[in-house]
């Protein structure tokens, strides 16, 4: 039998306690989102279970519309961001591309200096993106940090794979689609998750640029619901606190579900064994 060390026992206990400290607030919010009567003390299970809080969110236009806006902008923003950063990173990874250094300097310069909030607002206004939820998609389309990450990842792919594809007659775009992208699942999953979290949780952009209540996202509506008590009129007799906790669960649940499926790509070396030198 394997000998049990005291360090292992203490290590497991410490991490179990840390996990409990992390899960307890989430469990309280989850239980209170099903409780028909708003409570403040900690309870393991709701006294009067009800789904009225979630029904209110999905059946009331004032809450369902922002939630739908968040889903649409997150999906579109993530896809647009991945397309632009993968293409940009692939182009910058080509060492023989003319003007590669100047383009890289121009992109990196924007990471250090920006035009400021007022010039940015004026540009967005001229583009017709104020009071429009699509600003959440286009504003996150280009992220220089993610482009640099993809560039570094593409440069780590063995050069022999590129040479073999060129010998087989692949065009640069064919190499990108048939060789580079299949090997980039881990990078795409990681950067895609970062894009999705950025768009989904974007509150400041909505606060600055959007006034029309039909164009706001769920995070902005949830902030007004929790901080200002902006409870919409509904046919359900649901406590304000129950509705607030149900909204919080709806805001955090998508990524709690998605992360376990994407976690495998964060620790997996996708190009291990792809080529033997």
Q: Which residues are CB-neighbours of 252 under 8 A, at least 6 positions away?
A: 26
Three-point CA angle 111, 269, 258, nearest 5°: 70
Helix, strand, coil share of the chain (percent; to 5): 70, 0, 30
Domain that holds residue 119: 63-217
- Does the residue 277 lie in any domain? no
Instruction: Kindly report the CATH number assigned to the domain that includes residue 189.
Output: 1.10.3720.10
Neighbours of 187 (CB within 10 A): 25
pLDDT tens digit sequence for 190-207: 888 888 989 999 988 999
- Does the residue 73 lie in any domain? yes
- Does the residue 192 lie in any domain? yes
End-to-end, the C-alpha distance of the chain in Å comes to 42
- Does the residue 173 lie in any domain? yes
Rounded Cα distance between 114 and 111, Å, is 7
Rounded Cα distance between 63 and 134, Å, is 18
pLDDT tens digit sequence for 23-36: 888 888 888 888 87
Neighbours of 83 (CB within 10 A): 11
pLDDT tens digit sequence for 210-266: 988 889 999 999 888 888 777 777 767 777 888 888 899 999 988 888 887 777 766
Rounded to two decimals, the pTM is: 0.81
Domain count for the chain: 1
């Amino acid at each position: 039998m394997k000998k049990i060390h005291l360090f292992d026992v203490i290590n497991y206990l410490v991490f179990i306690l840390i996990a409990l400290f992390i899960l307890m607030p989430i469990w309280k919010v989850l239980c209170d989102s099903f409780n028909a009567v708003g409570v403040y003390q900690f309870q393991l299970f709701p006294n009067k279970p009800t789904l009225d809080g979630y029904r209110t969110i999905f059946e009331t236009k004032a809450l369902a519309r922002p939630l739908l806006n968040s889903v649409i902008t997150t999906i579109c923003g993530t896809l647009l961001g991945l397309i632009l950063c993968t293409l940009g990173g692939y182009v910058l990874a080509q060492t023989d591309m003319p003007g590669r250094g100047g383009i890289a300097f121009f992109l990196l310069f924007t990471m250090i200096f920006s035009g400021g909030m007022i010039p940015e607002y004026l540009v967005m206004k001229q583009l017709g993106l104020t009071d429009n939820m699509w600003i959440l998609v286009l504003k996150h389309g280009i992220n220089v940090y993610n482009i640099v990450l993809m560039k570094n990842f593409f440069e780590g792919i063995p050069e022999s794979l590129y040479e073999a594809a060129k010998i087989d007659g692949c065009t640069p775009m064919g190499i990108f689609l048939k060789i580079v992208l299949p090997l980039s699942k881990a990078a795409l999953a990681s950067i895609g998750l970062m894009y999705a979290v950025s768009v989904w949780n974007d509150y400041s952009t909505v606060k600055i640029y959007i006034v029309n209540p039909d164009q706001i996202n769920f995070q902005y509506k949830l902030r007004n619901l929790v901080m200002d008590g902006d409870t919409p009129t509904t046919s359900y007799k649901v406590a304000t606190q129950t509705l607030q906790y149900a909204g919080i669960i709806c805001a955090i649940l998508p990524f709690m579900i998605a992360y376990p499926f994407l976690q495998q790509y964060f620790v997996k070396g996708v190009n291990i064994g792809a080529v033997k030198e």
